[in-house]
Amino acid sequence: MFLRPRYSSDLIGSSHPHASPSAPAPQTTVPSESSLFVPALLARQHCALVQPPERALKTSAHPSPPQPQLLPMAHFMKHSRRPVIYSLDLRELKKVVTALSKAATHFNKKELECLVKVFYSFMEKGQKRSLYEGLDRSEFRNVLHGVFGMTDDLLMNRVFGAFDKDGDNRISAAEWVEGLSVFLRGSFEEKLKYCYQVYYVNGDGYISQDEMFDMLKNSLLKHPVEEDPVEGIKELVEITLKKMDYDNDGKLSFEDFEQAVKKDRLLLEVFGPCLPETEKCLEFETLAFKEINNEFSL
C-alpha cells in the first residue's frame, strides 16, 4: 500500500510530550492514521518508508528488488524527442493551440504552445506525422517512464486509460494537455477525481473488491514478505473497505473514496502511485517551458 504525503500538512510531526525544552526531540516516528490500519505483513515495508534512508537500510530484513534504472529526464527528453519541431506545420500548431486555449486548463497560451511542441516531438514515426494522430500506448508509456519516473506496468496502462478520454487508444494533443494540467498543476479535487478514475476501470461506477485485490497484489508482490501474500492481500482488502467503505456495500463509490481521502489525504494514492513526484513535475516544466524562461532571462 502506498501512503505518500503530497501536502505540507501531511509532513507535520508531533513533539515528544515528555521532552524537556533544552533537550532535542527523540527521533521517533509518529504513525499517521493511515499507517494504523496497515496489517502486520506490510508493517515492515511501511516503517522503511517513514524512516531515514540510513536506518531503513540497516533494519530491512527483506530488501526490495532492484528497480529499473531511470535515465535523467533531460537525457531522456534530449534523446527521445525527435528533431522534427521545424517540420511542424505552424498553421496546424496555431489552430491546435487556439482550440486548446479555450479549454479549462492551468496553462497560458505560450505554455500550451510549448506543450504541443513537446507532444509532437515525442511521436516516433517521422516528420510527416500529423498532430491529430496522437501518441499510441507504447509511446505514452515511454513518456510516463522516462519523463515522470513511473515503473508500474498495471498503473501506467490505467493512467493511459485516464488520459484517453475518447477511448480511441491514442492520446491526442488535447488529452495530453488536459492530463498534464492535472499532473503538473491540478488542484486537490482534480487529483482526487483523476486517481479514482485510474483505479476504477470496470464500468459499473465502483471500485470492486476484485479490482482492489489486483492493484494491491500488484504492489505487494514487489515487496517480498514471509506470510502468505494471497491471504495478506485479502486481509488488506477487508481492512481497506472498513476504512473507506462508508455505505457498507462492499465496494468503493466515488463518494466513499472522496470522503475517505478528504479525511486523510495520505489515502489519495492508496492503491498505488499514479501521480508523478513533485520534483519530476518541476523538472519537466523547467525543460518544457525553456523557451519561455529564456525570453524572461534576456
Lowest-confidence segment of 36-50, 70-84, 129-143, 203-217 by average pLDDT: 36-50
pLDDT digits (tens, 9 = 90+) for 256-280: 999 999 999 999 999 999 999 999 9
At residue 223, the pLDDT reads 59
Lowest-confidence segment of 88-97, 110-119, 165-174, 277-286 by average pLDDT: 88-97
Please report which confidence band the pLDDT of residue 103 belongs to, taking 50, 70 and 90 as the band edges.
confident
CATH number assigned to the domain comprising residue 128 = 1.10.238
| 55 within domain boundaries | no
Share of the chain above pLDDT 70, in %: 63
Q: Taking 60 as the threshold, does the pLDDT of residue 195 lie above it? A: yes
| 248 within domain boundaries | no
| 141 within domain boundaries | yes
Average pLDDT, the chain: 75
At residue 142, the pLDDT reads 94
Q: Which domain holds residue 112?
A: 73-186+277-297
- How many structural domains is the chain composed of? 1
Burial grade of 168 (CB within 10 A; 0-12, 13-18, 19 or more):
exposed
Q: Taking 70 as the threshold, does the pLDDT of residue 113 lie above it? A: yes
Lowest-confidence segment of 12-16, 235-239, 240-244 by average pLDDT: 12-16
| 282 within domain boundaries | yes
Does this model's pTM top 0.85?
no
Lowest-confidence segment of 23-32, 69-78, 155-164 by average pLDDT: 23-32
At residue 15, the pLDDT reads 39
At residue 295, the pLDDT reads 58
| 168 within domain boundaries | yes
| 200 within domain boundaries | no
| 127 within domain boundaries | yes
Q: Taking 60 as the threshold, does the pLDDT of residue 33 lie above it? A: no
Q: Taking 80 as the threshold, does the pLDDT of residue 228 lie above it? A: no
At residue 217, the pLDDT reads 87
- What are the grid coordinates assigned to 1, written together? 500500500
At residue 102, the pLDDT reads 85
Q: Taking 90 as the threshold, does the pLDDT of residue 172 lie above it? A: yes
Please report which confidence band the pLDDT of residue 104 belongs to, taking 50, 70 and 90 as the band edges.
confident
Q: From residue 171, how far is each of 32, 157, 178, 231, 246 by CA, in Å?
A: 38, 12, 10, 38, 35
Share of the chain above pLDDT 90, in %: 48
| 232 within domain boundaries | no
